[in-house]
Chain A
Amino acid sequence: MSEPDTQMCCWESVSCEEFSEWFDCDGRLVKDVTMRQRVFEAVVDPSCRRRLWKFLLRSSPQHSPSEQKNFDLENRSQYQALCKRWENIDKNVAMPDDDLSESPPYMELSDDDDGDDSNYCPPRESGLSQCGRSLSNPFPDGRAELDRSRSSDTGGVEPRHKSPSDGNVVLSAAAGLLEERSRGRARDNGREEEETDDREALVNGDEAESNRQPKCECDFRRRSWEDLVDEDGRALLSILEFPSRVFAARQPLELETGYAKDKRIILRDVLRTDRNFHYFSHKRNLRKVHRILLIYAMFHPEMGYAQGMNDLLARFLVVTDSEVDAFWMFERYMKDKRIDFMEVSMMRKVALVRKLISEIDRDLYQFFESSECHDYLFCHRWLLLDFKREFTFQDSLRIFEVLGTHYLELYSDKAQVETDKAIAKEFLNEG
């Protein structure tokens, strides 16, 4: 609606009211096909984007609001546990101490650009960090400085490798009890779960609040724990702590596969992540990118880090503005996307583009052929990053949504209709 880019104005838009019609009164998505069709056709109000993306990524289970809240807490608890385990291991992973410049790159991340990260201790390039908290776990005192706990109105991100052995049987029972209690209390107090827009809360957040927890490196300091999670939520989090630790401990880990190398590359790339986009002019946001990529690389040793992941993550961070949500969204998204980071499958995909063009645009195809251009490798970046670099950041969010609907793939006859429409429009324009 208030899309700043003027080019967007020519798009039809989906208002928040229309958006909410796709859900039932409990917040379950009931019009999946309509949603995909409308998102394909029209621009959704940016304030609905965060919620939309969780559904587009198929990362939001169909939960009632209270289930959702527990689910979000679980996500947070698990991320927190991963973060701790990562921190413990990471500080012992050396990177070659080869930076001879006067201001090595990690210094850049520690620059205090917004004044509230005074305790940030940069990761050292030289092996064992002198500072125990090196990359600063955002949850240093284990008190779960919670992300803007997205209570009921947001979807959560899908469970990952969940099995009863993760402690989830106990967990769901406990959660169920707590949920009941919490529901009762919420009614008593006449206080509904926060449905407020988080962005607003962030903007209006009290700076004094952030000072209260000066050591907290997380992005959530502007809303205190109390604002977000009631007593039951906190109780649930403490119950979750152990299974989350088990979950974290079960993540695969093979440091020999090149984590140290990834660590070095990640640092370079974090500093090159959309720095011209205002969100990433803040170093504290760059540090979120840094942590998420390191944690992902550590616990996905078969994938590690590949250039371009920072670009993909950047969109999730901007849209969710939450480290926890961005991590799980990224994690979920990479399950499908990882194949693109493998050479064979990317080559195959690029070859498919050639085939596609030969089918749908014979003239263009002939042009490429006559230019002896057979490899189409110029599509590599487009496909890898979902056209992120080819458009402005804001427009790339829209592209991501359109691709994320998988609308044309689901209904290939619709693709034909769309093509016909485009031809008809062109015909009309040309008179």
Chain B
Amino acid sequence: MAAQGKKEHLYKILVIGDLGTGKTSIIKRYVHQFFSPHYRATIGVDFALKVLNWDNSTTIRLQLWDIAGQERFGNMTRVYYKEAVGAFVVFDVTRLSTFEAVQMWKADLDNKVLLPNGKAIPAVLLANKCDLASEGFLGNINQLDDYCREKGFHAWFETSAKENIGIEEAARSLVAKILENDETIDHPQPDGDGIRVGEEDGRAPKKTKCC
């Protein structure tokens, strides 16, 4: 990476998982520091942009792609996943079926998008709605470390969009991993300035207000 001046990265991050697990809520909390119980179901895809001052010399723009939870439009997600460099896979700790769907989402992800070096994009598992979790679920939570290793997740976090728990930490963890990947991947572009996101570049900021 070039060391001179301030570095800027634009990263495309996917937020996927079963419907009603709180993907939109997590993004709204993370980007707008706001929670509402009345979000509408996402249709297709929504966008949000989060700017992080990572350190004194690095600014990171996270372009968050909030993808609808109903897998009715499978080929469209192929387009949505294109050129993503990281993902959050979300499940709802109060609903077992959403956890069971996690591996389906992860497989779908690995199947449709890869890093330029051919490896899977880093994914962080979010156990959302932890404020509502009952004993039953928390009892098994230690096994999640094993689960993540087995399924190829970089890390997992308990989150609550409502209570603002764990989201910042999860994002930091994912970004750190993306940066690490970024440095090890040999970029064909001479400037090496982050991953090219290309087509979405112009329109993402506009869309953040739409949802």
A residues engaging B (CB < 8 A)? 96, 98-102, 104, 264-265, 268-269, 272-276, 306-308, 310-311, 341, 343, 346-347, 367, 371-375, 377-378, 380-381, 384-385, 389-390
Contact = CB atoms under 8 A, between A and B. Distances in A.
Given A265-B70, A268-B20, A373-B203, A307 B95 contact: no
Contacts of B37: 275
Contacts of A99: 94-95
A377 B43 contact: no
Interface of B: 19-20, 37-45, 68-70, 72-76, 79-80, 93-97, 129, 132-134, 136-137, 198-203, 207, 210
A274 B203 CA distance: 26
A380 B45 contact: yes
B44 A380 contact: yes
A71 B29 CA distance: 51
Contacts of A264: 97
Contact of B210 (A98, A311, A380, A390): A390
Nearest to A101: B94
A378 B39 CA distance: 19
Given A268-B19, A310-B41, A100 B95 contact: yes
25 contacts: A100-B95, A101-B95, A102-B132, A102-B134, A265-B70, A268-B19, A272-B20, A272-B40, A306-B72, A307-B41, A307-B69, A308-B41, A311-B43, A346-B73, A371-B198, A372-B198, A373-B202, A378-B44, A380-B45, A380-B73, A381-B43, A384-B43, A384-B44, A385-B43, A389-B210
B44 A373 contact: no
A218 B27 CA distance: 38
A275 B68 CA distance: 19
A268 B198 contact: no
B38 A276 contact: yes
Given A343-B74, A377-B80, A308 B203 contact: no
B76 A377 contact: yes
Given A307-B43, A381-B43, A384-B43, A375 B79 contact: yes
Contacts of A306: 70, 72
B94 A371 contact: no
B62 to A, nearest CB: 19
A269 B76 CA distance: 21
Given A307-B68, A343-B73, A101 B132 contact: yes
Contacts of A346: 73, 76
A374 B203 CA distance: 13
A108 B74 CA distance: 31
Nearest to A371: B202
B94 to A, nearest CB: 4
Contacts of B133: 100-101
Given A347-B76, A374-B199, 7 more contacts: A100-B136, A100-B137, A268-B20, A268-B41, A306-B72, A343-B75, A389-B43
B43 A371 contact: no
A341 to B, nearest CB: 7
B76 A380 contact: yes
B9 to A, nearest CB: 19
Given A343-B76, A371-B201, A378-B207, A274 B40 contact: yes
Contacts of B19: 265, 268-269, 307
A341 B44 CA distance: 11
A98 B92 CA distance: 11
Contacts of A102: 132, 134
Given A265-B70, A306-B70, A373-B199, A311 B40 contact: yes
Contacts of B198: 371-372
B134 A272 contact: no
A274 B38 CA distance: 8
A126 B1 CA distance: 55
Contacts of A100: 93-96, 133-134, 136-137
A378 B210 CA distance: 11
A425 B139 CA distance: 67
Contacts of B76: 343, 346-347, 377, 380
Given A100-B95, A100-B137, A311-B40, A377 B132 contact: no
A343 B199 contact: no
A347 to B, nearest CB: 7
Contacts of A384: 43-44
A101 B43 contact: no
Given A381-B43, A385-B43, A96 B97 contact: yes
Taking each of B74, B136, B202, which has the highest tally of chain A beta carbons within 10 Å of its own beta carbon?
B202
A371 B199 contact: yes
Contacts of A101: 94-95, 129, 132-134
Contacts of B69: 307
Nearest to B95: A98
A301 to B, nearest CB: 15
A241 B210 CA distance: 48
B197 to A, nearest CB: 10
A375 B68 CA distance: 17
